[in-house]
Structure 1
Amino acid sequence: MEVRYPAVAGSFYPSGEDLLLMLGEFFSDLGEEGSERRITAGVAPHAGYVFSGYTASRTYRAIFEDGLPETFVILGPNHTGLGSPIAVYPSGKWRTPLGDVDVDSEMAKAIAKLSGIADLDELAHKYEHSIEVQLPFIQYLSELAGKEVRIVPIALGIQDEEVSEDLGKAIFEASKELGRDVVVIASTDFMHYGAMYGYVPFRARADELPHRIKEWDFRVIRRILDFDVGGMFRELREMGHTMCGPGGVGTAVVYSRLAGALEAELLHYTTSFEVSRSTDAIVGYASIVFKR
């Protein structure tokens, strides 16, 4: 069986026992596993755990306490440019330092079949970090629950409203066709600001920058909380915003609407400046969930 080996263990997140220790700290306030299953989708960042791990953990804590699904469909941006523009990982296992996670191949094939734009493709995922960094959170919690959870990784090289509508509908229709209990995860970071990214749309004192970046991010986040995919993309275009995973977020919103979600909640927001204190590169991170 095909195994996708970790590409960023030891850099974006620890590769040894320190990973369990870090996850234990992130989830020190974890409650009991729930059974409500109101959550349809979540948004989580994908930077190094030292910067965004706690924010990501808030999404997974909420999902655990709501009840783990059978399958996580995880959408992340394709930073490498390899492979298909809309790449659904077809089958096999993904490996991290915590072990292997099975790909839900039946669900993957159904999504690709029902989508008008997606391909079954492994190459796009080979070195991509945006989905890989989500897996230790899922593995840690599924082990606590004693429950086997599968994944469908989807890497997006094209991100727009058309992609969001197509994939959101395809995931929903596939889940209904197969009777699969699904949560969609949109892996994204928000504003990327600074000389390191070649993007300095406004100037401010160092102590003011996180607030200015938060203002820009919250213009986008407000649209997300309103389930307004078109509005989100308009804000991104008008501001020249550098959010890296809007297609995945748009997909999560479309899927959630179809799955009966009625509300969205921002659980946590921060920026990398809180850790690095550097203005050369500042990135925003948010944890959001959608609920029936």
Structure 2
Amino acid sequence: MGVRYPAVAGSFYPADEELVEMLERFFRDLGEEGSERKITAGVAPHAGYVFSGYTASRTYKAIFEDGLPETFVVLGPNHTGLGSPIAVYPEGEWLTPLGSIEIDAEMAKAIARLSGIADLDEMAHTYEHSIEVQVPFIQYLAEKAGKDVKIVPITLGIQDEEVAKDLGRAIFEASKELGRDVVVIASTDFTHYGPVYGYVPFRARADELPHRIKEWDFQVIRHILDFDVDGMFNEIRKLDHTMCGPGGVGTAIVYSRLAGAVEAELLHYTTSFEVSRSTDAVVGYASIVMRK
């Protein structure tokens, strides 16, 4: 049974009691847990909480008020290059400063078996932050609801239409085979702009920059809201867009369509500039949910 220890506690998010205080601020408008269970998937950012935590909380707030699932399948880009290109964490538990959360091993193994491309692999997850930063949100809300919620972490080192369609189908078929109530979380940031990233697709004054980046991101987001996987990837290629987790978002769209989703909603959008005021590195963040 594997134990995955936190790699970015104390950097991307607090490693002590400040974490709960921060989450309580994010969720100060949290309503009661719902029971409708119409949400099939969500998109949430994975930067440091000071930059993107509030935006991420909007996705989880909506899911909580809709009703928590049994299992969150959380997909994030593989920034480290370690391990399998498509890596499903097989079994055990993940630790954060909020305690442990169990891996849904049955679901993980079913996804890997039903997929034509995924492997059961722990190595890819060892230092990866894109999924880890989602876990405290899930733990905090599971505690609020008094529920034992499980996760299936999946890192993507390859991100294209074929991967999204394979994984979306595999997650859906696994959920049906096991009778599992699932929500898919796609962990992604959007535009990475500035000299730090070596990417300056347009010039703008500092006061114009957040608006220009929002316009840039919304050319991709509109395809997500239309459940248009092929259109999203075509737009990313056309723009040379620097969204880092399109494979997970595409997977969420494919799964949601198979699960009967009919609408997608953008809940919140911001950029890191709103906090940093720096034009050297600006990243866009969006909160999106998909519903039946």
The two structures have a TM-score, normalised by structure 2, of 1.00
Match of 1:41 in 2: 41
Match of 2:228 in 1: 228
- TM-fit CA distance, 1:208: 0.8
- Matching of residue 264 in structure 1 with residue 249 in structure 2: no
Following the alignment from structure 2 to structure 1, what is the Cα–Cα distance between the partners of residues 60 and 211?
Answer: 26
Match of 1:209 in 2: 209
Match of 1:113 in 2: 113
Following the alignment from structure 2 to structure 1, what is the Cα–Cα distance between the partners of residues 27 and 141?
Answer: 9
Match of 2:134 in 1: 134
Show the 5 A alignment for 1:22-101.
22-101=22-101
Following the alignment from structure 2 to structure 1, what is the Cα–Cα distance between the partners of residues 94 and 132?
Answer: 8
- TM-fit CA distance, 1:291: 0.2
- Matching of residue 275 in structure 1 with residue 258 in structure 2: no
Unaligned regions of 5+ residues in structure 1, if any? none
Following the alignment from structure 2 to structure 1, what is the Cα–Cα distance between the partners of residues 209 and 98?
Answer: 37
Match of 2:191 in 1: 191
Match of 1:168 in 2: 168
Match of 2:7 in 1: 7
Following the alignment from structure 2 to structure 1, what is the Cα–Cα distance between the partners of residues 38 and 26?
Answer: 23
The runs of at least 4 aligned residues of structure 1 exceeding 4 Å deviation read none
Supply the RMSD in Å over aligned alpha carbons.
0.4
Match of 1:244 in 2: 244
**Aligned residue identity for 2:135:** L
Query: SS state of the match for residue 211, structure 2?
Result: helix
Following the alignment from structure 2 to structure 1, what is the Cα–Cα distance between the partners of residues 148 and 108?
Answer: 17
**Aligned residue identity for 2:277:** R
> Any idea what the Cα deviations from partners look like across 1:88-139, whole Å, max 9, x if unmatched?
0000000000000000000000000000000000000000000000000000
Query: SS state of the match for residue 72, structure 1?
Result: strand
**Aligned residue identity for 2:44:** A
**Aligned residue identity for 2:262:** L
**Aligned residue identity for 1:29:** D
- TM-fit CA distance, 1:2: 1.7
Unaligned regions of 5+ residues in structure 2, if any? none
Query: SS state of the match for residue 264, structure 2?
Result: strand
> Any idea what the Cα deviations from partners look like across 1:149-205, whole Å, max 9, x if unmatched?
000000000000000000000000000000000000000000000000011111111
**Aligned residue identity for 1:56:** A
Following the alignment from structure 2 to structure 1, what is the Cα–Cα distance between the partners of residues 277 and 226?
Answer: 32
